[in-house]
Amino acid sequence: MALVSLQSIVNEFGLEIVANFGNLNEIMISVADVTRPGLQLAGYFDHFGPDRIQVLGNMETAFLGRLNASERLGRLDALFAKGIPCLVLTRNHQAMPEVLEWARKYSIPVLRTAEITSSFTSSLVKFLNVELAPRTSLHGVLVEVYGEGILILGESGVGKSETALEIVKRGHRLIADDLVEVRRVSDKTLLGRAPEIIRYLIEIRGIGILDVKELFGVSSVKMQENVDFVINLELWNEKKTYERLGVHEETTDILGINVPSITIPVRPGRNLAIIVEVAAINFRQKKMGYNAAKALTDRVFGPNTY
């Protein structure tokens, strides 16, 4: 199961540390949900998730301010006693003395941000959804061609990296070469990126390791991209019948999501970079409602025969 340290969240959002007990790297977040504990401060804890980050905004702070000191102590004690990972104060609210008292007692960090509550919570949930998403690593290449994330798969030596290099030279962008980390960030969305250690690097047999960002500039690379389309490269097999009209649609299952895909046979004389470009354009065209294979079938056999 994926985990995110509280320290990485502090670094990502530039949070101010109001109370720290030396455990930011030890506190691990395992859920992408965030709670504004209004009901809990009122005493209702049914279905409460103590493993969620707790955020206090204007409403929660105003509610606590209307309680007398004894009530405030009791309500905050009940919240902190649940073992929450941390408490975040938005809009630069000052930490009440009772908050700091129970934070010290239970060693629970208190953090602060100047952002408004809704903006901060939505950004935090989005960040956690990506970092905690189910993931897998695939041997392939991920490029962005005409705004589409194209994942190129195939056996070692089939020409994936060389194709990616030519695609970059033609003005498109590289996301990952050799190893692609794919995360399922929603029921319909896959996000791909390169492991940090090999980010923006590409290996060309006979030349070695190339830094694409340094060779072609920052416009030639991208940190991450959705996986919209899969192209499977394979050495040409004379005994195999390959799709010629594009009538039958293939899919590739990645983390339970069926991604549209095609299989391209590789042999000398084929310009794979141009084929990938055209495949990306054709894929976009299908998404916009036009299918050339269907149009041809309609011409030959009449409408609604596809």
Which residues are known catalytic residues? 139, 160, 178, 244
Residue 79 backbone dihedrals phi, psi, to 5 degrees: -70, -50
pLDDT in tens, 168-195: 999 999 999 999 999 999 899 999 999 9
Task: Examine the pLDDT at 248 and tell me if it is beyond 80.
Answer: no
pLDDT in tens, 281-297: 988 988 888 777 777 77
Task: Examine the pLDDT at 306 and tell me if it is beyond 60.
Answer: no
pLDDT of 245: 63
pLDDT in tens, 87-106: 999 999 999 999 999 999 99
pTM above 0.85, yes or no: no
Question: How high is the mean pLDDT of the chain?
Answer: 91
Stretch among 5-19, 228-242, 292-306 having the lowest mean pLDDT: 292-306
Amino acid at 301: F
Across the range 32-59, mean pLDDT stands at: 94
pLDDT of 238: 76
Task: Examine the pLDDT at 305 and tell me if it is beyond 80.
Answer: no
